Chain A
Amino acid sequence: MKITDEVRISDNGFVFNSKTGDSFNVNPTGLELTKLIAQGQDFDTIKNMFLEKYELDDLTFEKDFYEFCALIKFHQITTTEDPLDFK
C-alpha cells in the first residue's frame, strides 16, 4: 500500500488528491498514520509506535488502522501495487 503520487498532504491535516479533485481533512492521529504510511512503514512498526505513544490497546489499534486504510483506499488516496497484497 502506498500513497498515490497525485496526493499532497499538508502538516495541518489537509489532504488534496489532484487525480480525483477531492480534498479531505484528517484528524491529528489520521495525519500521523497517513504520514507513516507515506514513509512506507509497515503495520507492526506503526502499531508499536502508536502503542508506545498513546493510551491504546493493540486490538483497538488494529481495528482502527484497517478501517482507516480501507477509507483512504476508498478515497483513492492509496494504491496497492499488488492487488492481493502477497508479499
Chain B
Amino acid sequence: MEKLKYDKPTISKINAGMPSKFGLPVKQKVIADIDGIKVSSLIEEYGSPLFVISEKTMREVHAEAKRAFETRYPKVQFAWSYKTNYLDAVCSIYHDEGSWAEVVSGFEFEKALSNGVHGSQILFNGPDKSKADLTLAIENNACIHVDHFDELYLLIETSRELKMKARVAIRVNMDAGIYPIWDRFGFNYENGDAWNAINRIMLAESLEMIGLHTHIGTYIMVQSAYAIAAAKLANLYMAIHRKFDHWLKYIDMGGGFASKNTLKGAYMPGNETCPSFDEYAEAISNALISSEIPHENLPVLFLETGRALIDDAGYLLTTVIANKRLNSGRRSMVIDAGVNLLFTSFWYNLGVYPTRELGNAEESTIYGPLCMNIDVVRDAIVFPQVKTGEQLVIERVGAYNITQSMQFITYRPNVVLIDNDGKTHIIRKKEGLETFKNSELNPKRNYQKP
C-alpha cells in the first residue's frame, strides 16, 4: 500500500480577540530563486549562510530613482553612499551608472580613489576628518563638506600650509519637521551657525565655497520634510549670492530615503507605507524650482541615497539548524545567520521566507546561531513548520548589513554577486582562521609553563 504524505502534528489555540483590521496574508510568500538561480544551488556552491547581491535589481532601482529626479529637475547627480555598502564590486556598479562617491572617512576616501573615482567627484562628509584626511582631500580636489568649526579652522590651516585651494560646502542641520532633529552633524540653520560658517568660509582666501549640504535623518517617511529642507537651503543659496555675488555650484540633499523594509513597531508593512522615489523627487524638485533661485542659476542637485537604492538588491540565504519549543509553549527555531550579520534586524522586522511552500504556519521566534541571548532575528513571525536543513531567504538586507557585520563567534560568510548575465561571482571571500592569524601578533607564542 502506498504511504500517505506526512504532516507534522500541530495544535493551535483559537484566540477570540479583536481581529486584525488588515488581516493576514493568506498565502505564504516563497523565494525559491534569485534572478533565476535556485537558492539551493547557491548554497550548495557557496555555503550557508550566504549574502547574495543582485546586479539586476541594483541597476533597476537606480534607474527608477534617476528617472524620478531627472524628469523633474534639470541637473541631478547621484553620489554613492559608501558606508551603506562599500564592497568594490557594488561601488563599481554605481560608478558605472554615473554615480560619484560620498565618503565619510579617510578609509572610504582611499577606497573611492582605488575604485577609479576622480578626486573631484568625491563628496567628503562626516565629523571625523584628520589633518591627513583633509590633506588627501585637498590634494585630490574633493568636495569637502565641513561638519563643525574646529574642522573649518583645521581646513583653513591645512590648505594654507599646502598653498592650495580647498573646495568646500557646509553641512546644515535644521528643523524640517522631523523629530528629534539631527543636530549633531553640521551647522544649525535656525540659530545662525550656518550663516556664520558661510561668512567665515567666504572670507578665507584658501577656501572656495561651492555647495550646501543637508541630511535631515534616516528612513524619512514624510517627503514634505525634504521640501522644507530644500527651501531652507535655497534661502541660504540666495543669501550667499546677495551678499557675496557668488553662485554656488550645488545643493546636496543627502539621503535618508526609506527602503521598503518594515520598521519594528510599524502597523503596516514598509512596502505599503514608504514614499516612492517619485514622491521624494516631487517634494525636493518642487521646493527648489519654486524658490526664488533664478532658473538659469539653479544648482546641481546632489543625492546621496544609499539604503533605498541597495536594500532590495541584497539577500541573506540561511539554513535551519534546530526547532525548539520554548517553556511558554511558543515555537522557535535557530538559523545559521545571526545578528552579527544582520545589524538592521535591531530596527527592522526583516522578511524571512521559505524556499518552497510549507504548511501549518504558527507564530514563532527566529534565533541566530550565536551563544548570546540578544541573537534574535525575528521575535514574532508567523512561520510554517520547517525541518532542520530547510533553506530560508532573508530579503532586503543590501544596505548596512555587510558593512556593519561583525566577526563574532564565527566567520563571516561569502558575498556573491549575480551579474546581469546571471553569472555568479564571489565579491568577498568567507573568512577563515588565516584571516585573523594574518593580522594578529602573539608575543606569548613561545611561552612555556615553568
Contacts from A to B (Cβ < 8 Å): 15, 22-30, 32-34, 50, 52-56, 60, 63-65, 67-68, 70-72, 74-75, 77
Known: A23-B14, A27-B360, A74-B329. A68 touches B6 (CB 8 A): no
Q: Which A residues are in CB contact (< 8 Å) with B3?
A: 52-56
CB contacts (< 8 Å) of B12 on chain A: these are: 24-26
Provide the residues of chain A in CB contact with B359, threshold 8 Å.
27
* A residues near B6, Cβ cutoff 8 Å: 29, 50, 54-56, 60
- A53 CA / B13 CA spacing, docked (Å): 27
Q: Are B5 and A54 in contact (CB under 8 A)?
A: yes
Chain A residues whose CB sits within 8 angstroms of the CB of B4 once the complex forms:
53-55
Q: Which of chain A's residues have a CB closer than 8 A to the CB of B8? A: 29, 64
Complex: chain B residue closest to A65, CB-CB: B9
A55 engages B325 (CB within 8 Å): no
| Docked CA distance A72–B11 (Å) | 8
Complex Cα spacing A59 to B4, Å: 17
**Interface check B96, CB cutoff 8 A:** no
- B11 near A75: Cβ-Cβ < 8 Å: yes
Tell whether, in the assembled complex, residue A27 and residue B325 are in contact, meaning their CB atoms are under 8 Å apart.
no
State whether A29 touches B7 (Cβ < 8 A). yes
Q: Which residues of B contact A24 (CB under 8 A)?
A: 11-14
Give A21 to B359 CA distance when docked, in angstroms. 27
- Is A29 a contact of B5 with CB atoms below 8 Å? no
Determine whether B387 belongs to the interface, using a CB cutoff of 8 Å to chain A: yes
**How far is B60's CA from A70's CA once the two chains are assembled, in angstroms?**
49
Interfacial residues of chain B within 1-45, with CB under 8 A of chain A in the complex? 3-14
Among B11, B329, B387, residue most surrounded by chain A Cβ atoms (within 10 Å) = B11
User: A30 vs B10: C-alpha distance in the bound complex, in angstroms?
Assistant: 5
Of B7, B14, B329, B387, which one neighbours A25 at CB under 8 angstroms? B14
| Size bracket, chain B contacts | 10 to 19
For A72, the chain B residues whose CB sits under 8 A away are: 11
User: Whole-angstrom distance from the CB of A59 to the nearest CB of chain B?
Assistant: 11
* A/B interface sample: 16 pairs, CB < 8 A: A23-B13, A24-B14, A25-B12, A26-B11, A53-B3, A55-B3, A55-B5, A60-B387, A65-B9, A67-B325, A68-B9, A68-B10, A70-B329, A71-B11, A72-B11, A74-B329
Chain A contact residues, majority secondary structure? helix
Q: Which residue of B lies closest to A52 (CB)?
A: B3
Decide: B9 and A22 in contact? CB cutoff 8 A: no
Residues in B with CB closer than 8 Å to A22 are 13-14
* 5 nearest A-B pairs in the assembled complex, by CB-CB distance: A30-B9, A54-B6, A74-B329, A29-B9, A56-B6
Cα separation A77 to B9 with both chains bound (whole Å)? 15
A23 cross-chain contacts in B, Cβ below 8 A = 13-14
Q: A27-B11, A55-B5 are in contact. List 5 more A-B contacts (CB 8 A).
A: A27-B359, A29-B8, A29-B10, A67-B323, A75-B13
When distances are taken between beta carbons in the complex, the residues of chain B under 8 Å from A30 are 9-11
Q: Smallest CB-CB separation from A14: which chain B residue? A: B14
Task: Give the residue of A28, A34, A74 whose beta carbon is less than 8 angstroms from that of B7.
Answer: A28
Which residue of chain A is the closest to B6 with respect to CB atoms? A54
Q: How far is the CB of B11 from chain A (nearest CB, A)?
A: 5
Name which residue of chain A comes closest to B5, CB basis.
A55
Expressed in whole angstroms, the Cα–Cα distance for A15 and B3 within the complex equals: 27
CA distance A28 to B5 in the complex (A): 12
Most buried by A among B3, B10, B13, B325: B10
Cβ B11 vs Cβ A15 within 8 A: yes
Are A26 and B9 in touch, CB under 8 angstroms? yes
A75 and B13 alpha carbons, distance in the complex (Å) = 9
Q: How far is the CA of A33 from the CA of B10 in the complex (A)?
A: 10
Please measure, in the bound complex, the distance between the C-alpha atom of A70 and the C-alpha atom of B329, giving whole angstroms.
8
**In the bound complex, CA of A23 to CA of B323 (Å):** 25
CB distance from A79 to the nearest CB of B (A): 16
Bound together, the chains give a CA A87 to CA B129 distance in angstroms of 74
Within 8 A of A (CB), among B318-360: 323, 325, 329, 359-360
Q: Are B325 and A70 in contact (CB under 8 A)?
A: yes
Closest to A28 in B: B7
Task: Assess A27 versus B5: contact at CB under 8 Å? Given A67-B325, A75-B329.
Answer: no
Which B residues are CB-close (under 8 A) to A53? 3-4
Q: Across the two chains, which residue of chain B brings its CB closest to A32?
A: B9
Q: How far is the CA of A70 from the CA of B5 in the complex (A)?
A: 24
